[in-house]
Amino acid sequence: MATQQNEAEVSEASPSSPEPTVQVSDATVVPMGRPADRAEAALGNSPCPAVIAVAAAVAAAAAADNPAACSSDFEEHRDVLHMENGEGTTDPQLWCELKTMARRLMASLHPEDTMKDMLQALLQCSSDEDCQEQELYETTQAFASLKTRLSTRKQLWKCHPRTILMTKKHQDLVVTAKLKTMIRWLIDTAHIPNILLETAVFDELRDTFAADTCVRAWTADSDEPIDLIILLGGDGTLLHTAALFQGRMPPVLPFALGSMGFLTPFQFRTFDTSLRTIFNGNCSLFMRMRLQCRIARKSAAAPPMFHVLNEVVLDRGPTAYVTKLEILCNNQTITRVVGDGLIIATPTGSTAYSVAAGGSMVHPDMSCFLITPICPHSLSFRPIIVPSHIELEIRVLNKAAWASMDGRHQHELVEGESIFISCSPHPVPTITQQSATDDWFTGLSRCLSWNTRESFK
């Protein structure tokens, strides 16, 4: 699978601009796994650190809602944070790593940036070994505020992207015609030197662009750096595109040319204006969480790994019998499922299969999993939401069950085999039209007619 890094550079949009530039590839890969993994990943970035990646890693590891519970991320392991007699004691090594990241982040900011004030809360803790409850509370509140500011912070392309991958809705002549129009604009007006197409799409357009050597075929195992992905299609096209990148993924600019368009906020009729704004002006990147899925077989073969944007579904497949599953959280049994199956969804996937099965709709900026049963035998088994720092294991208890990831990659699991699900370290960076929140509520209203009434119009 492709794991390209991006070449185009961005810098933070600020009234005064002597800030260091940041590689898009670093800024778009926000570590979202266990706290220690996030810290290690952020610390391992380039010498000129990515502001967004480092800050988001620190914020995700340190953000908390109240001083008593501290951060759910910190609670993942006893060796990371212990709560004894109402006092918090952090693991010295992790605390030192967080301080190191904060110092690096401060060094990369402009001297007059008020964000530095927020970072002082972390650096002013009295001890690396003993952080009192009030100090931890002030620190986590500062980073909660920091995370909010980062989510609305604009990014500025330093130069036009040089290599663009274009994906489209398959077997749709209308979309194909619009793709030709956009490619011609990218060549003649934007002067993009490298335009990549999937092999099947390239073969379809080979004659049209035979004289344009900048248009080339691309496969998922290619290691050619990609600066930007432009998508023409619907939500299914975005799922297909995300599946091509089972590691780091370039930013995605989605144009709505599908049937739903919940995840594709940009309109094709104004594509030239949108592209000019993004190439020459500013844009916001939003990281969509993915699931990391590993199938554990009875055989000794290495388990396949998948990074899933919407949901993992385990169901009875072609059999007429109900499926029996056991759900474990961090090796502790939660419950057993008897019914047609089970959905484990991301917040992005909460408005897809999960909501059709009775699950809640969750804002995509939330860090959680949705566990939604499919026609459970017990009416008391209601959908639940769990934090994303845990690891789920779904174990098959009867003859067989079938697992699918985003509606593809179907695998049969026999009795005793399991699928392990955790938060992927490789999110999908999507360019927002307004902001992640505005785009989401617009999608609820436009695509799902959420709470629409005549009296509200």
- 3-state secondary structure string, 65-100? CCCCCCCCCHHHCCCCEEEECCEEEECHHHHHHHHH
For the record, the structure tokens of 120 come out as 């002082």
- Of the candidates 405, 397, 401, which has an alpha carbon nearest to the alpha carbon of residue 421? 405
Region of residue 407 (phi > 0: left; psi between -120 and 50: alpha; otherwise: beta): left
Residue pair 399/414 in contact by the 8 Å Cβ criterion: yes
* Helix/strand/coil percentages in the chain, nearest 5: 30, 30, 40
- Can you spell out the DSSP letters for 198-250? EHHHHHHHTTTTTT-TTEEEE-TT-----SEEEEEE-HHHHHHHHHH-SS---
CA torsion, ordered 23, 25, 29, 30, to nearest 10 deg: 0
For the record, the structure tokens of 438 come out as 């505005």
Residue 456: DSSP 8-state: G
For the record, the structure tokens of 391 come out as 């690891």
Helix (H) or strand (E) holding 150: helix 133-151
Tell me, yes or no, if 235 is annotated catalytic.
Answer: yes
Place of tokens 């459970």: 376
Residue 173 corresponds to which amino acid?
Answer: L
CA gap 361, 374 in Å, rounded: 16
Residue 51 corresponds to which amino acid?
Answer: V
Which residue among the candidates 91, 227, 235, 406 is catalytic per the annotation?
235
CA gap 354, 342 in Å, rounded: 9
CA gap 159, 79 in Å, rounded: 45
Residue 215 corresponds to which amino acid?
Answer: V
- Can you spell out the DSSP letters for 332-375? EEEEEEEEEEEEEE-TGGGGTHHHHTTPPP--TTS-EEEEEEEE
Residue 321: DSSP 8-state: S
- Which residues are identified as catalytic? 235
